[in-house]
Structure 1
Amino acid sequence: MASLRGQLTLRGCVIGLVGCIVITASSVYTALKLGALPWPIVFAAIISLFFLRALGSRSLNEANVTHTIMSSGAMVAGGLAFTIPGAWMLGLADEISIPEILVVTLGGVALGLVCTGLLRRYFIEEARLEFPMGIAAAETLKAGSAGGKVGKKLFGTMGLAGLYTALKNFVPGIPAIFLGNVSIPGVAFGIYNSPMMLAVGFLVGTGAVMAWFAGAVFANFGIMVGGTAAGLWTTEAAGGIVSSLGMGLMMGCGFTVILKNILPAGVRALRRTLAERRGNAAGADVGAAGAAGAAASNAVALEGEEPLVGQGASRCDGAGASAGSIVGACGGAAIHGGAAPTAAASAPRGVAGLAALLVATAALALCLALGVHPLVSVAVVALTFVTTAMSAQSVGQTGIDPMEIFGLIVLLLVAAFSATAQAALFLIAAFVAVACGLAGDVMNDFKAGHVLGTSSAAQMTGQAIGAVVGSFVAVAVVVLLLGAYGPDVFGVGKEFVAAQASVVATMVSGVPSVEAFAIGIAAGMALQWAGLPAMMIGLGVYLPFYMSFTAFLGAMAKATFDAVQKRRQAGLSSDQRAQRQADAQETGLVVASGVLGGESIVGVILATLAVFAA
């Protein structure tokens, strides 16, 4: 393992924590405002490299650990934003206290860290899943040159976006939605006056946003306008059908990820583990025989002949095996280092003890915060282990972390087999979503670390620091927004759309159209199984049309930007073209991230001012 020295540093922690506070706060706002949360990993990698180089550091591993700290709070924020506001939509704001939210968040973080620590070796070193965002972060750190131009682009666009956001709020006459006066029954038509939404479309990419927009067109102009005009249903009924269908599509996608990707991988892992145990048992017998044979051959060996000890060593793959299993599997190959297994075995016991303590703490936190039966807490913790593995598998193969779907699955199971109060169900969903969201971020970071040779211990330590700080920041911002605007601004078609939390609220309170929901689940499973982006289609069906249309315009801006860059690069050599492409991609990423960050940060500042004004 690489040393922590020079990787987990004081300056890196300071830079990472400042960035963590900013990114976590903006992530809460973004998730609630737009119903989506882009991965901040590559953005954090660029910023970490920029500031460390400004301080004279050229270490990619230090930058990698710094960006791990910086991005660790974002998915914690997503886990909260995608679940807790659903309780406010049902009028349960007074039944969930700030300490309860904080305890559940910290419990989810603790369990998420334990699970990813246990899963890292399998998913990163053995299964070798892609984890595309982790690879992107590693390649960004390797190829990026974060100089003064990067800082000017980033902070310049952040400043402009923040200034525009402030003007929207303080200058009368600036509409929230352009073309909002176009009247189409049942369709919230227009262009969202939000640079952040354009940036999301730019960052997500043309293909995914096209699927998103296709879902929006089908729902609004197919079901809503077409179905109503044909006399199949009323506008009000069409609204229930559309929302139920969108929820079903997103849940169907989550189920398919489990059935297609996660469960088969789990079965393969179980078979491999059983095979390894059988091999280890056989290896122990061979090892004993090998030791005896070694002694005999050493006694009679002729000059120039070598004893037959440890010939299997070159074939023994140590990945995922403890020192003791290596000895058994290699049939006595480690006899010459007999003291090493004992020393190596002590560290895993200490780590296991810490992991057990964190798991027990998480279960106790659930009991105290939710007031539920201890068996329910134990069941939730056990199910969270399963869903965290599902999350890691999903992120590794698709780059998507449907954390709220996993939280919803556990919520529904608990509701089906216990008399748990509605408010406690939302806290359970938040607990699971935080753990799963953090797992996706951690595994991406581990993938980047594996590529760069970063110490996993340094990354895990940094992740824990950032996640704990991010927990306090995320809870503070969620509570701040609630205090500033009240519970009535959360929900589809309102100031904070909170689409995922709305799905959770709907599942707790009742689905408007069970038939459309069932069709959506079936269609989502079929589309995802066929390799089509069911989650994005479902998001388009569910969200208001003006949001999807604005994201579509952002994706078109990305397509135009790429086309212009391609024309400019015509006639260049392959090396020059590759460098120009990398520079253009970095510019687009930094500018779009700056726009997203600028509006979201100013949005949080405005919410803070509103609280003090009240």
Structure 2
Amino acid sequence: MKDDQPLVPASASLPEITFKAVVLSVILAAVLAAANAYLGLFAGMTVSASIPAAVASMAILRLFRQSNILENNIVQTAASSGEALAAGVIFTIPALLLVGYWSVFDYWQTVLIATVGGLLGVLFTIPLRRALIVTARLRFPEGVATAEVLKVAAAGRSTTGQDHSAGDFRALLSAALIGGAVKFGESGLRLWTEALEGAATVGRTVMYAGINLSPALLAVGFIIGLPTAVVVFLGGVVGWLVLLPAYGLLHGLPPDKTGLAAAMAIWSGQIRYVGIGAMLTGGLWTLTRLREPVWQSLQTLRASYNASRASGGSTVVPRTEQDASLWWIVVPFGLSLIPMAWIYTTVVDNPMIGILMTLVMVVAAFLFSSVAAYMAGLVGSSSNPVSGVTIATIMLAALLLVLFMGAGHPAGPAAALVIGAVVCCAAAMGGDNLQDLKTGHLVGATPWKQQVMQVVGVVTGAVVLVPVLSLLQAKYGIGEPTVAHPHPLSAPQATLMASLTRSVFGAGLPWPLVGLGAAIGVLVIFADRLLERRGSDFRLPVLAVALGVYLPLKLSAAIFAGGVIAELVKRAAGWGDDPSRRGLLFAAGLITGEALMGIMLAIPIALTALWPGLGADPFTLFDVPPFGGWPGLMIVALVAGALYRVAIGSSKTGR
């Protein structure tokens, strides 16, 4: 079927926004937003939820007598919007705790920041739909893949009579149960440790090795594939196996520390700042590379608008080309600025600076929503450089605030982070929105109805995310290790944003290490450009390498293992692209199950604050896991085998 021939023609009219679709949308948006929040804080990476949402939707809607492909599309649109908003929130909002602005997550301020950022991402990308999807005809690979899933559901049964969607849903559900059970054994019962790791003191320095025993990280590696997983792992090798021992040789070990304690002290106190420098270089390079695509996007938008005016409004717009009207863009946009101006004014206690910050936020949100939309059209929303543009926004905002408020202003870091949070949410939504609208374009959906449901997904995610973040903070801790939480969720992006703002406003960074990271980033960029000129399929995106330097090696090692599984499946099945849809669904189920179990295990900790006599961690059998990490290694190996078998089995049957 050609791209300009949707599955449901414009002349047909099927129910889209139905009661059951809205209810299912809200439930899935909440679940997937919570799962992606956990994954992002844990691993520093998020994955697109469009395909899992589409599979879950079509499996549930099949239970009703009346359902259709456009209802399925509406559900996955709202659900993936909630998931995308989670990425924008967890990359920035926890930083407000790390800089000391909040001691706990402020519910209403977070809801307002997330809602306004997500809403701006929706509104700013409405005019881009025709420009990028219809006129420029960008690929939007993840949107096309989701459309194919929906078409399978519409086709019903295969020639053999097998209900493929039911099998897909079983794969998703069974993987979720497995992921949840493994997380319960590790974090609930504490039968084994979360990682198998160790370090040995060698002369003046230390050598480290380790791998996290998380099915979710295996699944992340499987989904992103071996090339990206290799790049992230390469950054980990540079940081942990090259720079960390080199630092020990030059400066010796920290006082009174040997082995694993020494390795972790050197990494947290020194080496991760090299990752910050590399990320700064990557963010600036990303903006430089995106100048031409953004300009082309705006030119295409202007040409589309001029063509519409030339018709004088006399042309009847087909159902499949009906976007939300201008008033439905302008009025919500104007209303959204009021709460943001109030929040900014509250943070800095200065109305004029609050208004200035609002203007900066609007310009940056529009620019980077357009950037994210264009990049989603080229490489998909999962590969969007949201971290890079957020870094650039926060640095620009911080420098402007220093100019107007002075470097010693105590509210400066928080003010810059709030601007970055809104822009990050808008950028995360921008790519996801256009991806979903591409899916709708292929199946014959009504664009304005999708845009309405994108807002529903934003509001759902905004309402759900604060309780989720509070639970995760209570159970695991976020960002910095403490006595109560010695192994917190690393929250790499939020920790980075906090460090950047503190440095601009006077706390300072170890600039020689940051400079070393910047130099490494430049070398990676040159190497990537050389690979590009040679036409190599393998590339070295600088932000992925920088993330690997910044992440604990045990995380990138587990992600790399998942990438290896994906590559083995591809080679065994003889496929050149994705291993199989059911394999991807199984991987998505592992992530969802582990994330939801991790959140549920946090509930007793939160209840302890209300009823101290309840006792925390009621499931815990051992304060110290008696078997170390070896049981977890065997279990994760079995999970990896199951992932391989599901993927290779479905590949052989064309699934």
State the TM-score, normalized to the length of structure 1: 0.81
Aligned position for 1:496: 489
Work out the CA distance in 2 between the residues paired with 1:321 and 1:254: 34
Shift of 1:85: 1.4
Q: Percent identity?
A: 24
Q: Which has the higher helix share?
A: 1
Is this contact kept in 2: 1:449–1:455, CA < 8 A? yes
1:368 and 2:337 correspond: no
Provide the C-alpha distance between the structure 2 equivalents of 1:207 and 1:343, rounded to a whole number of angstroms. Answer: 43
Alpha carbons 2:185, 2:191 under 8 Å: kept? no
**Residue among 507, 532, 553 paired with 2:561:** 553
Work out which of the residue numbers 390, 393, 403 in structure 2 matches 1:410.
Answer: 393
Deviations 1:16-40 (A, max 9, x none): 2211111111111111111111111
Q: Structure 1: how far apart are the matches of 2:282 and 2:180?
A: 35
Partner of 1:377 in structure 2? 358
Q: 1:128 and 2:157 equivalent?
A: no
Aligned AA (1:175): T
1:604 partner letter: I
- Report the alpha carbon displacement of residue 476 of structure 1 after superposing the two structures with TM: 2.3
Equivalent residue for 1:507, pick from 476, 496, 500: 500
What does residue 436 of structure 1 align with? 427
List per-residue Cα deviations over 1:372-400 (Å, max 9, x = no partner). Answer: 52122122112211111111122222332
Show CA shifts across 1:146-166 (max 9, x none): 433223222122112212211
* Whole-Å separation in 2 of the counterparts to 1:176 and 1:354: 48
2:211 equivalent to 1:191: yes
Tell me by how many angstroms 1:526 deviates: 3.7
Farther-moved stretch of structure 1 (470-479 vs 349-358): 349-358
Confirm or deny that 1:601 pairs with 2:610: no
**In 1, distance between residues paired with 2:80 and 2:201?**
41
Q: CA deviation at 1:499?
A: 0.8
Distance in 2 between residues matched to 1:493 and 1:248, nearest whole Å: 26
CA–CA distance in 2 between the matches of 1:516 and 1:485? 32
Q: Which amino acid aligns with 2:151?
A: K
The aligned amino acid for 1:518 is A
Q: Is the 8 A contact 2:50 2:80 kept in 1?
A: yes
Contact 1:2 1:455 in 2 (8 A): no
Cα distance in 1 between the residues matched to 2:390 and 2:433: 18
Offset of 1:475 from its aligned partner? 2.3
1:67 aligns with 2:76: yes
Find the partner of 2:417 among 416, 422, 426.
426
Residue by residue over 1:533-584, the C-alpha shift from the partner in whole angstroms, topping out at 9 and shown as x without a partner, is 2222111111011111111111222223333434xxxxxxxxxx99xx98x6
Larger RCO of the pair (alpha carbons < 8 Å, separation 6+): 1
Which residue identity lines up with residue 515 of structure 1 in the other structure?
Answer: G
Q: Which residue of 2 aligns with 1:215?
A: 235
Tell me the alpha carbon deviations over residues 499-542 of structure 1, each in whole angstroms, 9 at most, x when there is no partner: 11111111112233332243245345445554532222111111
Q: Deviations over 1:320-368 (max 9, x none)?
A: 55543135xxxxxxxxxxx836999xx9998323322222223222111
Contact residue 277 and residue 514 of structure 2 kept, 8 A: no
Deviations 1:92-150 (A, max 9, x none): 32386321111111111221111011221112112222222111111222246643322
Assess, with a 3 A threshold, how the Cα gap between structure 1 residues 272 and 239 changes in structure 2: closer, same or farther: same
Question: Which residue does the alignment assign to 1:482?
Answer: 473
Checking the alignment, whether the CA contact within 8 Å between 1:404 and 1:429 is kept in structure 2 is: no
* Preserved contact between residue 16 and residue 66 of structure 1 (Cα < 8 Å): yes
Deviation at 1:473, TM superposition (A): 0.9
Superposed CA deviations along residues 289-328 of structure 1, whole A, max 9, x for unmatched, are: xxxxxxxxxxxxxxxxxxxxxxxxxxxxxx555543135x
- The answer to whether the 8 Å contact 2:57/2:72 transfers is yes
Equivalent in the alignment of 2:187: 169
CA 1:370–1:415 in structure 2 vs 1: closer, same or farther (change >3 Å)? Answer: same
Q: Does 1:259 align with 2:253?
A: no
2: distance between equivalents of 1:39 and 1:114?
21
Q: How does 1:141-156 map to 2 (within 5 A)?
A: 141-143=150-152, 146-156=164-174
Contact 2:49 2:79 in 1 (8 A): no
| Alpha-carbon distance in 2 for matches of 1:244, 1:111 | 33
Counting only pairs closer than 5 Å after superposition, residues 336-347 of structure 1 correspond to structure 2 as 340=314
CA distance in 1, matches of 2:300, 2:432: 26
Q: Is the contact made by 1:96 and 1:423 (CA closer than 8 Å) also made in structure 2?
A: no
Q: CA deviation at 1:57?
A: 5.2
Q: 1:233 to 1:451 in 2, by over 3 A?
A: farther
Between stretches 174-183 and 379-388, larger displacement belongs to: 174-183
Q: Is residue 30 of structure 2 the alignment partner of residue 25 of structure 1?
A: no
Q: Equivalents in 2 of 1:2, 1:412: separation in Å?
A: 50
Kept in 2, the 8 Å contact 1:363–1:378? The answer is no
Q: Say if 1:154 and 1:593, in contact at 8 Å, map to a contact too.
A: yes
What TM-score results when the alignment is normalised by the length of structure 2? Answer: 0.76
CA distance in 1, matches of 2:479, 2:550: 19
Q: Determine if the alignment matches structure 1 residue 450 to structure 2 residue 441.
A: yes
- Aligned equivalent of 1:224: 244
Offset at 1:231? 6.8
Q: Residues 398, 365 of structure 1: CA spacing in aligned structure 2 closer, same or farther, 3 A cutoff?
A: same
Relative to structure 1, is the Cα distance of residues 152 and 268 closer, same or farther in structure 2, using a 3 angstrom cutoff?
closer
Within the candidate set 109, 113, 131, 1:104 is matched to 113
CA distance 1:96–1:53, change in 2 (3 Å): closer
Q: Give the Å deviation of 1:483.
A: 4.1
**How far, CA to CA, are the matches of 1:350 and 1:194 in structure 2?**
43
- Structure 1, unpaired ranges of 5+: 277-318, 328-338, 567-576
Query: Once the 2 structures are TM-superposed, how far is the Cα of residue 252 of structure 1 from its aligned partner?
Result: 3.1
**SS of match in other structure, 1:134:** helix
Deviates more, 1:100-109 or 1:170-179: 170-179
Contact 1:72 1:466 survives alignment (8 Å): yes
User: Unaligned 5+ residue runs, structure 2?
Assistant: 1-9, 154-162, 255-262, 349-353, 406-410, 504-508, 533-538, 610-655
The answer to whether the 8 A contact 2:286-2:388 is kept is: no
3-state SS of 2:114 partner: helix
Secondary structure of 2:139's partner?
Answer: coil
CA distance in 2 between counterparts of 1:493 and 1:544 reads: 14
Aligned to 2:642: none
CA distance in 1, matches of 2:375, 2:102: 32
Cα RMSD (Å) = 3.2
2:377 is aligned to 396
**Structure 1 residues 551-560 or 172-181, which shifts more?**
172-181
Are the equivalent residues in 1 in contact too, given 2:14–2:70 (CA < 8 A)?
no
Contact 2:42 / 2:490 at 8 angstroms: preserved in 1?
Answer: yes
Decide which moves more: 245-254 or 11-20. Answer: 245-254
Structure-1 separation of matches of 2:594 and 2:115: 28
> Structure 1 residue 170: deviation in Å?
3.4
Q: In the alignment, what sits opposite 1:569?
A: none
Q: Is the 8 A contact 2:286 2:389 kept in 1?
A: no
Other-structure match for 2:541? 533
The answer for the alignment partner of 1:291 in structure 2 is none
Tell me the equivalent position of 2:605. 610
Asked whether the equivalents of residues 82 and 461 of structure 2 are also in contact (C-alpha less than 8 Å), the reply is yes
Structure 1 residues 395-422: Cα deviation after superposition (integer angstroms, max 9, x where no partner): 2223322223322322222221222622
Q: Distance in 2 between matches of 1:340 and 1:431?
A: 38
